[in-house]
């Protein structure tokens, strides 16, 4: 059975697109056929992070409007042949998306793909609503600061009341917490909420902590999902997250200041 994963947060700039790209690449690298969809119509970014912006011909909105087939619009990733990207349209806005149209595309993708990752736009309006509506699993990306945590909480409320699963009284969406841009040093200084603080407020299953890392910016600039940078702490954090999502038991890292084996070998980035 295909599973639809929404990567969402409520707040902007917390790392949704970075996470979508990394998770989709991670799942594909492990041999699962994966599609990643950019729901941020009008503020198209995923293709940049995935490094395929120069190969975009048709987009999500074209497919919804029947101006292109899904196969014409899907872009195969250069690094992994199990991964496909469905870019957003840059010239339209969120109103170009319809629930019916999105549902149809997801149904079609489900026949062919194992995982479908939906990169949600910020906010709680139409784009974000449609990105999460059909989801089976939700990755809530949160930064360790109060406004991000509260927005995530709001989004969790929406997931549990406005999604298709909620409306049809099915088993609720599985929710996972991804704490990004985490800096143990700043937690120690009291400048940042700790993992425990965030979990106390959200009471949510922690899938992983992604440390604040230069490698994320480098990866974005070079159009390579950060998970491909196996030496970087953020890349390893995402690899752990994918493994945990697939049911592997891996101890949490990057929560404490202590340098692990990798840290000693390569130094912190």
Binding site for another protein (CB under 8 A): 65-67, 96, 98, 100, 150-151, 153-154, 156-158, 160-161, 172, 200-201, 203
Residue pointed to by tokens 């493994």: 243
Beta strand pairing call for 205-211 and 75-76: unpaired
Pair of tokens at residue 228: 């491909």
- Would you say 51 or 127 has its CB closer to another protein? 127
- Would you say 168 or 249 has its CB closer to another protein? 168
- Would you say 65 or 72 has its CB closer to another protein? 65
- The least distance separating another protein from the CB of residue 167, rounded to whole angstroms, comes to 10
- The least distance separating another protein from the CB of residue 55, rounded to whole angstroms, comes to 21
C-alpha angle 177-182-187 in degrees, rounded to nearest 5: 115
- Would you say 157 or 260 has its CB closer to another protein? 157
- Would you say 203 or 221 has its CB closer to another protein? 203
- The least distance separating another protein from the CB of residue 101, rounded to whole angstroms, comes to 9
HEC readout, 197-251: HHHHHHCCEEEEEEECCHHHHHHHHHCCCHHHCCCCHHHHHHHHHHHHHCCCCCC
- The least distance separating another protein from the CB of residue 89, rounded to whole angstroms, comes to 12
- Residue 98's region, left for phi above 0, alpha for psi from -120 to 50, else beta, is beta
Name the DSSP class of 115: E
- The least distance separating another protein from the CB of residue 39, rounded to whole angstroms, comes to 19
- Residues with Cβ < 8 Å from 221, sequence gap 6 or more? none
């Amino acid at each position: 059975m295909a599973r639809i994963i929404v990567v969402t947060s409520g707040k902007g700039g917390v790392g949704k697109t970075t996470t979508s790209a990394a998770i989709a690449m991670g799942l594909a690298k492990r041999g699962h056929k994966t599609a990643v969809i950019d729901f941020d119509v009008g503020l198209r970014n995923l293709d940049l992070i995935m490094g395929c912006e120069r190969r975009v011909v048709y987009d999500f909105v074209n497919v919804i409007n029947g101006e292109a087939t899904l196969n014409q619009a899907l872009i195969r990733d250069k690094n992994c042949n199990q991964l496909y990207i469905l870019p957003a349209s840059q010239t339209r806005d969120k109103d170009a998306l319809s629930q019916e149209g999105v549902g149809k595309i997801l149904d079609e993708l489900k026949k062919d793909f194992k995982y479908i990752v939906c990169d949600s736009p910020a906010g709680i309006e139409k784009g974000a609503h449609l990105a999460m509506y059909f989801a089976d699993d939700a990755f809530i990306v949160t930064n360790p600061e109060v406004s991000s945590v509260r927005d995530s909480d709001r989004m969790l409320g929406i997931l549990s009341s406005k999604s298709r699963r909620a409306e049809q009284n099915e088993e609720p969406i599985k929710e996972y917490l991804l704490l990004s841009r985490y800096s143990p040093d700043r937690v120690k200084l009291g400048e940042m909420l700790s993992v425990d603080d965030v979990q106390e407020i959200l009471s949510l299953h922690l899938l992983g902590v992604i440390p604040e890392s230069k490698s994320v910016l480098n990866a974005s600039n070079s159009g390579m999902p950060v998970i491909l940078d196996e030496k970087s702490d953020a890349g390893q954090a995402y690899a752990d997250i994918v493994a945990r999502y697939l049911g592997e038991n891996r101890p949490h890292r990057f929560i404490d200041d202590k340098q692990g084996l990798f840290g000693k070998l390569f130094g912190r980035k």
